[in-house]
Structure 1
Amino acid sequence: MQCSSRFLIGISERLNFSTSLQSQMPPQSFLKSPFDSAAYIELLKSFSSSFSLIHGKSIHAHLIKSQPKPCLFLQNNLLNMYCKCGDMVSARHLFDVMPKRDVVSWNSIVSGYFQIGLCYDSFDVFITMRHCDVVLDKFSYASALSVCARMREVNVGKMVHGLIVVCGLSKLAFLTNSLMDMYSKCGDLDRAWRVFDSSDELDDVSWNSLISAFVRIGLIEETQRFFARMHRAGVKMNSFALGSVLKACSSFGGSKELGKVIHGCVVRVGLDSDVFVGSAMLDLYAKKGLLDEAVKVFKLIPDPNVVVFNAMIAGFSRMDTEIDNMVTCEALHLFCEMLRRGMLPSKFTFSSILRACNLTESFELGKQIHGLIFKYHLQYEEFIGSALIDLYSKAHSIEDGFRCFHSSPKQDIVTWTSMISACVENEQFERALSLFNELLNDGRKPDQFTISSVMSACANLAVARSGEQIQSYATKSGFSAFTICANAQIFMYAGSGDIDAANQTFKELQTCDVVSWSAMISSHAKHGCATDALLLFQEMEHRKVVPNHITFLGVLTACSHGGLVDEGFRYFESMKKEYGIHPNVKHCACMVDLLGRAGRLNDAENFISESGFGDDPVLWRALLSSCRIHKNTETGARVAERVIELDPNASASYVLLYNMYLDAGNESLALRTRDLMKAHGVKKEPGLSWIEIGASVHNFVVGDKSHPKSDAIYSKLNEMLSRIERVDDHKDDTLEFEDIQLEHKESMFNCHSEKLAVALGVLLLPKSAPIRVMKNLRICADCHTTMKLFSRNERREIVVRDAIRFHRFKNGSCSCKDYW
């Protein structure tokens, strides 16, 4: 990246990083002497507006020493400071010890909880305030309506509306606006319209609120007509009204055409150079991907402030899949221009810059930005904390992410969710579950995104019992209605081997998005249900749901596992021609696997050469696996040489080659492969199988005798083996080579980890319960044959998940139809 560290080198030497907060703090000598209430109040107001909690606490400490019994007005200002700074623990403690409290005190607590996202706590305080016979004012009701709007609780909002009418405050324009905002955000536009029409007192905000409601749900024509009505009524279109409408248009479903119409109104009333309107217009164009128009608006603003710069930087950092290094350079140029102008970057500035670094994987640059964040003392902000966790997570520096997490004093739910998601992305699934338990024990309430991340951890660990408990929690908390939680639930059940439960979850979904369909298609594909996966894809197309690259990955996987070569190529071409999706390396690996399994090894090799991913070892390893299946030693040796050259530290390549030579009866070349692996210092991942029984997860390795029930397990396994007809010619040495001598391998077949796990399942699980075993490596042919016979003789359903797919054994057959 050309715009890298040189933009930031020397900034700390050229610029003064002292902030205005330091200048607001009284000298230490001044703090040693008491001063009157007016001085305290002015300082508290200053620290509230600058969110300086540390300075506010120092004034509180000084106040305790100088005035043991401060007046109620002074205490309310102190309470407001804590609430504005987000320290609700201190705020609530102060509130509880106040000898007298008025409606201002109660309103501060209600507003404070709402500002940090604790809506239920906020509303609980509102209800308690009513029970304490406090005379509620318009601010009390407005706060309650804001809580209802955020929680989308229209029925509770109606009850608050009734209280407002009973109290005789329904005619106030201030509450009219709050009611309209609540109803519109809850999706009840008819009631919002009735409130507007029945009100005798309307102001500019009233008109603006209804316009914003129209924009929010995408009613373009109604918005334009209402603009005309507003003009005929003689309502002046000021910067606040137009800016708010533009903000609503950019935040919700407004179209580009509507934005341009509003832009025309802005120009006509001469507000195109207004900072507030300009920043909203700039933000609108940036969110719609019209960066050229956004740049034009930016250049027209004569004296842009921090908000304008933030909107422009966010625009350059919001391009997602289209973002490139040049776009990041533009964002960084603007950031440096802010510093040169002496502007104080805000938390939104740094969160946008960090987002650009995350999108382009510019991790070193992100670390430099982190250094500037420390210099500006903004490392404790929750927005920045989450962005830093994301940065270090994508850089696979999970411990640095935890340091950022623990350094955030607020640790709101967004920060917790970011940290849990980081653990999942870095395959630290147990740590993610542990963090979730810590969150609950800490008394915090997760949101739908937290639940989704935790379910993903359960899916990867394949612990259905834990997943079911989280699903129960989600249902009780009302999160199960969210599509994102239902999608994660599909992945969780499918990943745990329960495809029926995953399918039931999918059928119960009221709103299926592309992720829902993709999750179900991929689940069927991995469980060997290729026909069901393709039928589901056809139904998805029939319902006009546009598939994405993940959907097609599931479709191609289904074709590969089902041996559907012609269908696979048809979908591969459809992905490119009909949907404009450029195949990535995973799609191409599926095609190589599809051709290789079908025995078309030459075609698979030619496909790799023409795919554009010829230097990716994943494709060659897929071909090597097919060479072993079809016992093509000559091609396999050549392919193995290529894949080891590309990725010499991957143990899977050596293991495949080793087993291929053993299958061909060439023990000398097999041993030479093992020696080559040792020479390169590569260690094979040990085979591990695990089974969840009740609240416990039991792990096994080959020949494991560490389990407390080891004697009973081996006794049961021998009993099961004695009842089946062994098929000796299916034995192989897949993934079991380590340092075991060849002549002793025969005795190890009956000790494979998945067999031990199944034996424990037969011992402890009721006969009606399926036995689900997870394995980190591929199942060997001997175990595959044995599991089929176990399922027939024991009359049990056995599900084994290996590193590639699920094998569902029932009545002596497998769902893979022996095509694996």
Structure 2
Amino acid sequence: MPPPPPPPPPFPSLDAFYLHLLRACTSLRHAAAVHAHIARAHPAASLFLRNTLLAAYCRLGGPLPARRLLDEMPRRNAVSFNLLIDAYSREGLAPLSLETLARARRAGVGVDRFSYAAALAACSRAGHLRAGRAVHALAVLDGLSSGVFVSNSLVSMYSKCGEMGEARRVFDVAEERDDVSWNSLVSGYVRAGAREEMVRVFAMMRRGGMGLNSFALGSVIKCCSGRGDGTMDIAEAVHGCVIKAGLDSDVFLVSAMIDMYAKKGALVEAAALFRSVQEPNVVMFNTMIAGFCRTETVIGKEVASEALTLYSEVQSRGMQPTEFTFSSVLRACNLAGYLEFGKQIHGQVIKYTFQEDDFIGSVLIDLYFNSGCMEDGFRCFRSSPKHDIVTWTAMVSGCVQNELHEKALSLFHESLGAGLKPDLFTISSVMNACASLAVARAGEQIQCFATKSGFDRFTVMGNSCVHMYARSGDVDAATRRFQEMESHDVVSWSAVISCHAQHGCARDALHFFDEMVDAKVVPNEITFLGVLTACSHGGLVDEGLRYYETMNKDYGLSPTIKHCTCVVDLLGRAGRLADAEAFISNSIFHADPVIWRSLLASCRIHRDLERGQLVANRIMELEPTSSASYVILYNMYLDAGELSLASKTRDLMKQRGVKKEPGLSWIELKCGVHSFVAGDKSHPESSAIYTKLEEMLSRIEKLATTDTEISKREQNLMNCHSEKLAVALGMIHLPQSAPIRVMKNLRVCRDCHSTMKLISKSENREIILRDPIRFHHFRDGSCSCADYW
């Protein structure tokens, strides 16, 4: 006879059946359906089953139905409350989590270590230090604080709330420690930036024989990634620990170490570590490519080529590039000026459908704007489906960089209209646009916006305000804003020094430099440029030469072409033309036309026609198409009465196709910014402007003198130069007490300079005129430049 069939498997118990169903639930709706079935079929369900249902609600993100279920349960234990405490904690509802803990203690169900761990986690996530201390006190009362599980939670809570002293005390008095204890303390010191304490704890951990894992080593590596002094030895020691622990093949740790070496500028070590990995993944490639593009690293063609080579290797290995791959390699193209490579990468971005990534979009905008391809940059911006503040900031800063300042302001207003909240970098870029346009009223509005947004406390914002007011001609406002700043960096000091230098306040500029040195702030090249400019404009020859020597001798700064040009200008102002020429001849910049042009301007001022002709010929050999040298030479001949030579110079410009940049002046009034060119009659108030100008010129006619025989036609042209038209408009609209601030893109001519002095006296008005070289403050018939500019 055949053997009897095996008995059927036993029917699963009720709890096991529902447990299977609840584990399969993927939404709150499914859990609610199972709950309804249990309530109808088994109203006297066990505590285990009810806790299982409670766990399902908590797992699926439903603390509210879980709370209702807990309230309805006829019996509850510590597990019931722990589930809800943890659910509130994970949802970021710390007050409700702590309330549930208190409720459990009142219910007398016997709260355990899991209850306190969940409550402390809620305090950690919310940063509620005071509540965390209260939970700590309750754990002590219940005799649970010394256990390793709760003590680890306390260390984590205190470290995440920034109280490393408390975290260390809990760690030290703990009766028992495990790997989690040490890792929590190490990561806490890393988070607090306490590198030395982190190293000590890590050394104690090693001496105590604790095993190293990727979490602990990853925290230490992160701390070593800064550029602080002395961290290279620590980084290499940690690298050795990774190898000894047999974790040198861990993808996470290797990527972290590559990033660590790259951030410290040790690209050779980073590359060697990268090449030691047999099968690097795309994360390692991304880390290495990004390492070549650090701002701390000196980016050159060779470094950028390495980044592009790595990207090619990613493709040859058949790996799928990520958004981080593209953003890093595009940054390499941007920093090295590889526009064509960047365009090819842009095509790859479109191929892999990453064109909607905001960060990649902003890097592409930077690439095109930095290369002067404005239309391509605008096209990238318009094609992006969504614009965040990073993209808008890239657009604004790109416009400022390419001197599209009015467009930058327009984009800023558009971003506000789109409901976006500008960040610090956006506002700083807009302030730079206001500074370049010298529109103080718009700059004041941006400053008010920054104050309301809480950005005014940042040093970079204060620096932008100082620069804006200085460029707008308000040296007093720039000084006040500097004094209101809580902290000053080298940019702050350089800005206020340059401000006073450009406005002819030489002694004030040097006073600020002395204060900077007393404040232990190390000056840089920009600082010394401001100091030398101040000495030049103030006629302080000996001081200027001393500062020039100090620059290299005491601070190790190599003079640039701008510093040397200031020295030439310094000597030239004092009439030491031969010394200035000798300085140029002995300089490494003797072949640069800029430095010779400064000497040519001095020759014109001191009427050294012979030397001026030789210098002009030298400049025209070096730079035959620059109009500035021809204009200076033409004016020098005109001042000397050599009209025929002046005419020949003008003819030479025509023969060589050299065109003088048209002069443009502008003034800011309540109704906006008004710009003029010579003889401009396009302004709506043109008739009133010319009438006012004629009135002012007629009043100063008796005071004016003419040194050269200028034709009637040329005199008429000078009388309608752009700066004179702007001043006339200011006279019409501005009150008597308000200074008239006019900006010009070219140097002011001698006739306009003399006219402004006379107008300031006859009209009893202060006129501030900015040209590319400096500010001219006209008061009572004199100018701050002492007629040398």
Q: Shift of the alpha carbon at 1:803?
A: 1.7
Matches within 5 A, 1:160-175: 162=131
Whether 2:490 is the aligned partner of 1:514: answer yes
| 1:279 alignment partner AA | S
Q: Shift of the alpha carbon at 1:500?
A: 0.9
**Contact 1:138/1:174 (8 A) holds in 2:** no
| 1:755 alignment partner AA | K
| 1:272 alignment partner AA | D
**Contact 2:156/2:167 (8 A) holds in 1:** no
Q: Shift of the alpha carbon at 1:331?
A: 2.5
- Match in the other structure for 1:372: 348
| 1:329 alignment partner AA | S
- SS of 1:690 mapped into structure 2: strand
- Match in the other structure for 2:788: 819
- Match in the other structure for 1:773: 742
Pick one of 487, 507, 516 that aligns with 1:531. Answer: 507
| 2:88 alignment partner AA | D
- Match in the other structure for 2:114: none
Whether 2:225 is the aligned partner of 1:250: answer yes
- Match in the other structure for 1:785: 754
- Match in the other structure for 1:471: 447
Pick one of 335, 350, 357 that aligns with 2:333. Answer: 357
CA distance in 2, matches of 1:213, 1:356: 34
CA distance in 2, matches of 1:174, 1:137: 20
Mark the CA change 1:105 to 1:341 in structure 2 (over 3 Å): closer, same or farther.
same
Over residues 168-190 of structure 1, what are the superposed CA-to-partner deviations in whole Å (9 max), with x where a residue is unaligned? 99998998788557534xxx655
- Match in the other structure for 2:110: none
Matches within 5 A, 1:456-605: 456-605=432-581
Pick one of 287, 299, 304 that aligns with 1:323. Answer: 299
CA distance in 1, matches of 2:594, 2:60: 64
CA distance in 1, matches of 2:656, 2:725: 32
Q: Shift of the alpha carbon at 1:690?
A: 1.4
CA distance in 2, matches of 1:450, 1:176: 41
CA distance in 2, matches of 1:500, 1:344: 58
Q: Percent identity?
A: 59
Pick one of 772, 778, 785 that aligns with 1:803. Answer: 772
Whether 2:394 is the aligned partner of 1:425: answer no
- SS of 1:574 mapped into structure 2: helix
Larger radius of gyration: 2
Pick one of 657, 667, 682 that aligns with 2:658. Answer: 682
Mark the CA change 1:253 to 1:742 in structure 2 (over 3 Å): closer, same or farther.
same
**Contact 1:212/1:244 (8 A) holds in 2:** yes
Over residues 585-636 of structure 1, what are the superposed CA-to-partner deviations in whole Å (9 max), with x where a residue is unaligned? 2222222322333333333333333332333332222222222222223332
Consecutive unaligned residues in structure 2, runs of 5 or more: 1-25, 32-56, 64-83, 96-122, 140-144
- Match in the other structure for 2:5: none
Q: Shift of the alpha carbon at 1:808?
A: 1.6
Over residues 729-766 of structure 1, what are the superposed CA-to-partner deviations in whole Å (9 max), with x where a residue is unaligned? 46679xxxxxxx93312234433322232232232222
Mark the CA change 1:529 to 1:163 in structure 2 (over 3 Å): closer, same or farther.
same
Q: Shift of the alpha carbon at 1:566?
A: 2.5
Mark the CA change 1:223 to 1:494 in structure 2 (over 3 Å): closer, same or farther.
same
Over residues 32-52 of structure 1, what are the superposed CA-to-partner deviations in whole Å (9 max), with x where a residue is unaligned? xxxxxxxxxxxxx9xxxxxxx
**Contact 1:489/1:505 (8 A) holds in 2:** yes
CA distance in 2, matches of 1:103, 1:201: 31
CA distance in 1, matches of 2:225, 2:94: 25
Over residues 139-193 of structure 1, what are the superposed CA-to-partner deviations in whole Å (9 max), with x where a residue is unaligned? 332999xxxxxxxxx9995559749979999998998788557534xxx655766
Matches within 5 A, 1:10-25: none
- SS of 2:668 mapped into structure 1: strand
How many residues in Structure 1 have an aligned counterpart in Structure 2? Answer: 683
Whether 2:90 is the aligned partner of 1:139: answer yes
Whether 2:626 is the aligned partner of 1:650: answer yes
CA distance in 2, matches of 1:482, 1:155: 28
- SS of 1:777 mapped into structure 2: coil
Whether 2:713 is the aligned partner of 1:744: answer yes
- SS of 2:225 mapped into structure 1: helix
CA distance in 1, matches of 2:29, 2:572: 80
Q: Shift of the alpha carbon at 1:232?
A: 7.0
Mark the CA change 1:578 to 1:729 in structure 2 (over 3 Å): closer, same or farther.
same
**Contact 1:279/1:308 (8 A) holds in 2:** yes
Matches within 5 A, 1:103-502: 137-141=88-92, 158=127, 162=131, 183-184=161-162, 189-190=164-165, 207-208=182-183, 210-215=185-190, 218-231=193-206, 236-251=211-226, 255-318=231-294, 320=296, 322-502=298-478
Matches within 5 A, 1:723-742: 723-724=699-700, 726-729=702-705, 742=711
| 1:794 alignment partner AA | E
Q: Shift of the alpha carbon at 1:363?
A: 2.7
- SS of 2:161 mapped into structure 1: helix
| 2:504 alignment partner AA | G
**Contact 1:363/1:391 (8 A) holds in 2:** yes
Mark the CA change 1:191 to 1:671 in structure 2 (over 3 Å): closer, same or farther.
farther
- Match in the other structure for 2:103: none
CA distance in 1, matches of 2:372, 2:430: 19
Mark the CA change 1:410 to 1:251 in structure 2 (over 3 Å): closer, same or farther.
farther
| 1:766 alignment partner AA | P
Over residues 500-547 of structure 1, what are the superposed CA-to-partner deviations in whole Å (9 max), with x where a residue is unaligned? 111111111112111111111111111111221122122212222122
CA distance in 1, matches of 2:569, 2:257: 50
Deviates most, 723-732 or 470-479: 723-732
Supply the RMSD in Å over aligned alpha carbons: 3.7
- SS of 1:322 mapped into structure 2: coil
Mark the CA change 1:593 to 1:376 in structure 2 (over 3 Å): closer, same or farther.
farther
Over residues 567-588 of structure 1, what are the superposed CA-to-partner deviations in whole Å (9 max), with x where a residue is unaligned? 2222222222322222222222
**Contact 2:396/2:411 (8 A) holds in 1:** yes
Mark the CA change 1:790 to 1:343 in structure 2 (over 3 Å): closer, same or farther.
same
- SS of 2:673 mapped into structure 1: strand
Q: Shift of the alpha carbon at 1:701?
A: 2.5
CA distance in 2, matches of 1:546, 1:465: 33
CA distance in 1, matches of 2:203, 2:741: 65
- SS of 2:92 mapped into structure 1: helix
**Contact 2:152/2:184 (8 A) holds in 1:** no
CA distance in 1, matches of 2:185, 2:574: 62
Q: Shift of the alpha carbon at 1:381?
A: 2.1
CA distance in 2, matches of 1:545, 1:591: 24
| 2:453 alignment partner AA | S
Matches within 5 A, 1:605-754: 605-724=581-700, 726-729=702-705, 742-754=711-723
**Contact 2:94/2:126 (8 A) holds in 1:** no
Consecutive unaligned residues in structure 1, runs of 5 or more: 1-44, 46-69, 75-100, 108-132, 145-153, 734-740
Over residues 253-296 of structure 1, what are the superposed CA-to-partner deviations in whole Å (9 max), with x where a residue is unaligned? 58334323433432332323422112211211211122232233
| 2:91 alignment partner AA | S
Mark the CA change 1:224 to 1:163 in structure 2 (over 3 Å): closer, same or farther.
closer
Q: Shift of the alpha carbon at 1:426?
A: 0.5
CA distance in 1, matches of 2:396, 2:634: 39
CA distance in 1, matches of 2:153, 2:761: 71
**TM-score, scaled relative to structure 1:** 0.75
- SS of 2:380 mapped into structure 1: helix
- SS of 2:544 mapped into structure 1: helix
**Contact 1:790/1:812 (8 A) holds in 2:** yes
**Contact 2:88/2:94 (8 A) holds in 1:** no
Mark the CA change 1:782 to 1:205 in structure 2 (over 3 Å): closer, same or farther.
farther
